[in-house]
Amino acid sequence: MSMMETKEIHIGIADMKVSKAPAVLSSLGIGSCVGIILYDRESKIGGMAHIMLPDQNQVKNRTNRAKFANTAIPDLLQKMLDDGADKVMIKAKIMGGAHMFKFMKDSPISSIGKRNVEEVKKVLKELRITLLKEDTGGDYGRSLFFDLDTGKVKVRTTTHGVQEL
């Protein structure tokens, strides 16, 4: 028997990907954005989206659906179902939504992290997906490493070390 090699699949900003174990989905430098992880532990199918904004209806350019919480999460879910995931088994973990723009006190941009997290939670609730764990808020960025074999997520930060969710 040969060891199966785990491939790392990178998810950029305003991007999403779905894969099956053995693989690690990673996204680096999530600040006010939110990383959304959906996982079916039975089939070991998982997906990650790195959203920038809460709602596509608030902007003119809507071509990239992965950029917005209200379109990225349903699209990610659909991709997982198309790949064989079972909707009943899918659970979520979210990270990010930091307060990165302190210098812009009263600007809508200053609260974008918080608004992103609120919208992500609202969409997950509408889709009836249980949110298992979250690491949100604060004023620091996060990098995520999601192991599709174990379902564990390593959250790496420059100021708060590494934690596992």
Residue 34 token pair = 């939110």
Residue 59 token pair = 């902007």
What is residue 66's three-state secondary structure?
A: helix
Q: What is the DSSP letter of 54?
A: S
To the query of whether residue 5 is one of the catalytic residues in this protein, the response is no
Task: Sort 31 into a burial class: Cβ within 10 Å, 0-12 / 13-18 / 19+.
Answer: buried
Task: Sort 5 into a burial class: Cβ within 10 Å, 0-12 / 13-18 / 19+.
Answer: exposed
Give the integer Cα–Cα distance in Å for 163 and 165: 7
Look-up: residue for tokens 């992500």?
A: 120
What phi-psi label fits residue 149: left (phi over 0), alpha (psi between -120 and 50 degrees) or beta? alpha
Identify the active-site residue in 33, 77, 94, 117.
33
Residue positions annotated with a catalytic role: 33
